[in-house]
Amino acid sequence: MSLPHSPFSTPLTPPAAGARWEGEGRQWRLVLAGDAQAGAVLPAPPAALPVAAGTRLSFDSAALARWQPGFAAALWQALAPLARGGVALDLSGLPPGLRPLLALSLPAPGAAAKKPAAAAEPAPEPGWRQTLAFVGDTLAAVGRLLRGRTAMRLSDWLWQIEQTGPRSLPIVLLVSSLVGLIVAYMGAEQLQRFGAQSFIANLVTIGVVREIAALVVGIVLAGRVGAAFAAQLGSMRAGEEVDALTTLGVDPVEHLVLPRMLALLVTGPLLTLCAGVAGLCVGWGVAVGLYDVPAMAYVNTTRETLSGWDLAVGLLKGSVYAVLVALAGCRQGLHAGRSAQAVGEATTAAVVQAIVWMVIAASLLTVIFQRLGV
């Protein structure tokens, strides 16, 4: 005889969740039963179930008492690999509340297999084409600047002048002084054999002012400023800051390249002038201190030898080299890869490219000025 039901009696606990795979060949079914709690674990698909196109999986949830949202996550983890492999899932046998969750979240059948192999990034353009495009974009930005339609900020330009000019001056003075010492000493050694020490001033003046000062400044700027430009812009590109500027409608060339290039266009000739003065002063010390050349005689010879054209040629070369350094550094930085290794490679390439461009420009300018008799 059964006892009457009491309202104080403990209710029956629903059976624990159960799941089993049934089927063979290409037709399979997943039977769900019991109480599917959040921590329920589904058995792995049997090895006999072919994970390939043509396999069909249906569901039987008639014995499923209830389910919680966490059970949907467990079910998704079990079914997602099958869907990617091409198994067709018939979700009509699932509870109405569970069916739309899985229909929206599960991948389409065969999604992994149908992904095109050529979906990778397109192959980069050749380096010379990227360089020509970059130079063209820079010239267009300069044209907009001259028409007063630029996004470049004055504060950015002044900041770059401070970074590239005064902070580069100590190393420029040191290197140019040492190079001027070498030129003066080696030249004086040869001139002393002929008793022509008085021509030390001519040699130092022409060599330092026209050629050496500009080259020294260019090499120092390539190692210090050009590498910094490439590292800065390369890091911004790796951090997607350049992409963010483009998304906001800001031209990266106007905002990043133009202030740096114009800053070097100002500081390049000024540093060249300082380097020339340092080289002349060291040459004066060598001639007067080591080879007994009268101090005033050296100064007068320097004034007679140094012409306006020599100074103009030296300052022009310094300006050209500085612009080439800026272009090389910014070009490598803006086209760097999106990793730390790529930024380092871009920095090295910027220094090498700047020096190569300077040597080519020095050769061309020297031949041109010699042909013109300047």
CATH number at residue 90: 3.30.750
Q: How many CB atoms lie within 10 A of CB 160?
A: 22
Domain count for the chain: 2
Which spans in 165-255 are helix H?
169-192, 200-207, 213-221, 227-238, 241-247, 252
Note down the domain range covering 166: 127-372
Q: What does the alpha-carbon distance between residue 287 and residue 185 come to, in Å, rounded to a whole number? A: 8
Give yes or no for a contact between 335 and 230, defined as CB atoms under 8 angstroms apart.
no
Per-residue pLDDT at 9 exceeds 50: no
Say whether both 199 and 159 belong to one domain: yes
pLDDT, tens digit, 9 for 90 and up, residues 258-289: 999 999 999 999 999 999 999 999 989 888 88
What residues does 30 pair with on adjacent strands?
Answer: 21, 59
Q: Which residues contact 351 (CB under 8 A, 6 or more apart)?
A: 222, 223, 226, 227, 328
Residue whose C-alpha is closest to residue 40's, from 12, 13, 7, 64: 64
- What are the backbone angles phi and psi of residue 125, rounded to the nearest 5°? -70, 160
What residues does 34 pair with on adjacent strands?
Answer: 64
For range 348-363, the mean pLDDT:
94
Say whether both 134 and 189 belong to one domain: yes
Residue 235 one-letter amino acid = S
Indicate the residue among 106, 141, 176 that finishes a domain. 106
Q: Do the domain assignments include residue 301?
A: yes
Say whether both 64 and 177 belong to one domain: no
pLDDT in the model for residue 32: 86
If you average pLDDT over every residue of the chain, what do you get?
84
Give yes or no for a contact between 38 and 68, defined as CB atoms under 8 angstroms apart.
yes
Q: What does the alpha-carbon distance between residue 134 and residue 137 come to, in Å, rounded to a whole number? A: 5
Q: Do the domain assignments include residue 113?
A: no
Give yes or no for a contact between 88 and 109, defined as CB atoms under 8 angstroms apart.
yes
Q: Do the domain assignments include residue 330?
A: yes
Say whether both 88 and 225 belong to one domain: no
176 pLDDT band, cuts 50/70/90, is very high
User: Which tokens belong to 190?
Assistant: 């040869």
For range 173-183, the mean pLDDT:
92
Q: What does the alpha-carbon distance between residue 145 and residue 174 come to, in Å, rounded to a whole number? A: 36
pLDDT in the model for residue 101: 75
Say whether both 212 and 352 belong to one domain: yes
DSSP state of 272: H
Give yes or no for a contact between 143 and 250, defined as CB atoms under 8 angstroms apart.
no
Q: Do the domain assignments include residue 349?
A: yes
Q: What is the value of pTM for the model shown?
A: 0.65
pLDDT in the model for residue 346: 93
121 pLDDT band, cuts 50/70/90, is very low
Give yes or no for a contact between 171 and 224, defined as CB atoms under 8 angstroms apart.
yes
Say whether both 146 and 80 belong to one domain: no
pLDDT in the model for residue 17: 58
Per-residue pLDDT at 2 exceeds 70: no
Q: Do the domain assignments include residue 215?
A: yes
Say whether both 102 and 205 belong to one domain: no
Higher-confidence position of 158 and 40: 158
- Percent of the chain residues past pLDDT 70, beyond the cut: 89
For range 290-312, the mean pLDDT:
86
Least confident of 36-50, 183-197, 305-319: 36-50
Say whether both 232 and 313 belong to one domain: yes
Say whether both 338 and 201 belong to one domain: yes
Say whether both 313 and 362 belong to one domain: yes
User: Which tokens belong to 31?
Assistant: 């039977």
Q: Do the domain assignments include residue 64?
A: yes
pLDDT in the model for residue 167: 92
For range 322-329, the mean pLDDT:
96
Say whether both 345 and 231 belong to one domain: yes
